[in-house]
Amino acid sequence: MKILTHWLRSYLPVLDVDDAQLAEDLTLRGIAVEGVFELNDGAGDSDGALFDMDITTNRVDAMNHYGIAREAAAIYDLPLHRLDTTLPPALPGRPFPVRIEAPDLCGRFTAQVIRGVSIAPSDGVVRHYFSELGQKPISNAVDATNFVLLGMGHPTHAFDLDKIQGGIVVRRARDGEQIKLLDGSTRSLVADDLVVADEVKALGLAGVMGGWDSMITAQTKNVLVEAAWFAPAAIRASSRRHLLHTDASHRFERGADFAAAPVANALVTQAILEACGGTREAELVDVIVAEQEAATAGRAPIRLALRNVQRLLGRTLTPEGITAELVEQYLAALGCVLTALNTEEYDVRLPSWRLDLAREIDLIEEVARVYGYNRFANTLPTPAEVIPHASARAVQAVRTRLFQLGFSETLSSSFASAAESAWFAPEAAAVALENPLSEEAANLRPSLLPGMVTMLAHNQHRDVPTARLFELGTVFTGSAAAVDEASSLALGLSGEFRETPPHRPEDAPFFELKGAIESLLRLFSVPAAEYSAAGVPPSLEPGRGAVVSVEGRTIAVFGQLATSEAARRKLRRPVYIAELQMEQMLRYPLRQATFRELSKFQAVERDFSFTFANSVSWKSISGAIHGLGIEEMRSLDAVEIWRDDKKYPGVYSALIRVVFQSDERTLLDTELAEWSSRIIAALEGLGGKLRS
């Protein structure tokens, strides 16, 4: 944003600091001046400076010369020149008809009729200021609206009155309604668009751009000046829907000043009467929606405690510190009205142009900002006792276990698109954002899986051979009015995996993921988990996913990402994902670690080589051997799995290793022979054949 210092100084006649010092002082107060460019008046004399400023999006009140002057007045404790809205008497006439049919989207609309104007190019101060700012002049009537926008910040619009049929109607657009805008483009509107219309047609896209059919031309003789207040969300949605970003939409979608509409209208009327001639007909029409006024200009006061100001801001470089007098001075200069309740507390009524102020801490920040961040002492906060969260130990145990299993921790966006939300969490009520950054970030994420799949795809597309990732985070469900938060854990596997007996290579990631979930559950005193293919979400490939439940409650889902989603994301290899409900896991206490002393006696290994039908699973083999109840059996592993479907169809060979050991004595050959015979008999009972 560009600011002319001689224009700014017209609102502060007694400002005696030079432009360089002014730029530095504004920057130290959060109103950043990024460049200072000296100007001359064409005769070699100084004409002040041009400030190139970076105004943060929440400070729409400072996106104009008067707003910057207000900041300087607060910094230097100077009187701010009041805007003169005095108008010549109006000729008698019927008030211009204005009707607001969308009170939730338009809270205020002002209209002033001016008759007998002469449209011509601008000259004088307007032309001079526009030249220095690089602003393109259009005509004296249109330039008046832009001049007021640059001066005091509120958008306005001038219509050719004779092209308006009936009165003004502020309404929602009709689906498919067409309008030609000032840029020459024709737009097809939707029912969520807000338009300023007459009784027949739309005259402009409210808060964004005026219409072609009612614009000011050289033939215009009568003008209707409009200044209004529109709901930020409505203007933001229309601006993005139609890919139109204008000076007006930039301000309206960030929260314009509800009380500024009649002031801006009066200033534009002044400028048009001065530049174009003409007379004012009837008094200003000002239609107000009381509910919108109460929510903006009429907000309830904020309670401010002086002790909180001093406690939070800390020690200053001067011994007197932040006094009550300074707090009153700074906030009053910014437009607040303070009512002292006692020597320590105030009720602070907020200025209508500062919608970014909503809490006590916001007012404290304003005090610190105007006082100057550079005037506080560099001190460390007093250390306080840190009390860990009740679940901190359990969460850290989960994180440590995943590190031990070879996973890397990641962090993804807290947002997801509406399509991803519905795909990965079809039964969850996703929370839509009022002001999304993009369509890809339209919702608060109801699941961690969209982010996990995106990160796995990122690794695949960059030829990372193998990725094992996890994310601990928060998911959100409910509605904008009541958001429910819950802790969640996502796991993801992608890449090339070696064969892990007794599983096939293509199945290895599935069972590795299953093993990781089981390892995590073993950290807690969780009853036996049950696995089921019923209820697997559509985001997982049919037949390649499972639901894990404990005591009848779902605690995890895992499996292979659906091939349709993998194809959409152009994944070359299968991706395996899991999501665990941390809230359910944390209901159970951490398992108490126990140990036993290592045996002093030698362990004995016995290998059993069998062939089995493909229908015989490792679970049945393991269950058959463990079911023998041999107390001295220490471990059971499938050392090798061998298949040759062409030569030996329907069967596979397994080398099974069992380790025996006693804590009390050396094992006897007769015992080992007996146990081996029982194991062989159990495996033969499954249809297995002992290989010689």
Determine the topology of domain 302-371 in CATH: Phenylalanyl-tRNA Synthetase; Chain B, domain 1 (3.30.56)
Tokens at residue 146, please?
A: 């832009």
Q: Which residue, among 339, 375, 335, has the nearest Cα to 355 in the 3D structure?
A: 335
Homologous superfamily (CATH) for 604-690 = Ferrodoxin-fold anticodon-binding domain (3.30.70.380)
**pLDDT averaged per 10 residues, the chain (length 692):** 95 94 94 92 77 93 96 96 94 94 96 97 94 94 97 97 96 96 95 96 96 96 97 94 95 95 97 96 96 95 94 90 94 96 94 94 96 88 75 93 96 92 89 83 92 94 92 92 92 80 76 93 92 91 93 93 93 94 92 85 95 92 94 92 87 94 94 95 94 80
Q: Which residue, among 216, 190, 224, has the nearest Cα to 205 in the 3D structure?
A: 190
> Which secondary-structure segment (H or E) carries 267?
helix 261-276
What CATH code is assigned to 98-294? Answer: 3.50.40.10
Q: Is 678 helix (H, G, I), strand (E, B) or coil?
A: helix
Which CATH architecture is the domain 2-76 placed in?
Answer: 2-Layer Sandwich (3.30)
**What is the edge-to-edge ordering of all strands in the sheet holding 302-305?**
302-305, 345-349, 337-340
- C-alpha–C-alpha distance, residues 625 and 615, integer Å: 17
Can you say whether the dihedral through the CA atoms of 561, 563, 567, 571 is positive or negative? positive
> Which secondary-structure segment (H or E) carries 459?
helix 449-461
Q: Which residue, among 568, 531, 530, has the nearest Cα to 551 in the 3D structure?
A: 530
Backbone phi and psi for residue 248, each to the nearest 5 degrees, phi listed first:
-70, -50
Say what the pLDDT of residue 427 is. 86
Q: Is 356 exposed, middle or buried (0-12, 13-18, 19+ CB in 10 A)?
A: middle
Q: Which residues of 492-531 are buried (b: 16+ CB within 10 A; e: fewer)?
A: bbbbebeebbbbeeeebbbbbbbebbeebbebbebeeeee
Can you say whether the dihedral through the CA atoms of 526, 532, 538, 543 is positive or negative? positive
Q: Is 10 helix (H, G, I), strand (E, B) or coil?
A: coil
Determine the topology of domain 392-585 in CATH: BirA Bifunctional Protein; domain 2 (3.30.930)
Say what the pLDDT of residue 155 is. 97
Say what the pLDDT of residue 498 is. 67
Q: Is 29 helix (H, G, I), strand (E, B) or coil?
A: coil
Domains 98-294 and 392-585 share a fold: no
The full set of domain ranges for the chain reads 2-76, 98-294, 302-371, 392-585, 604-690
176: left (phi over 0), alpha (psi -120 to 50) or beta: left
Specify whether the CB–CB gap between 684 and 676 falls below 8 A: no
- C-alpha–C-alpha distance, residues 5 and 25, integer Å: 14
- C-alpha–C-alpha distance, residues 320 and 413, integer Å: 45
Say what the pLDDT of residue 26 is. 95
Say what the pLDDT of residue 481 is. 80
Say what the pLDDT of residue 503 is. 66
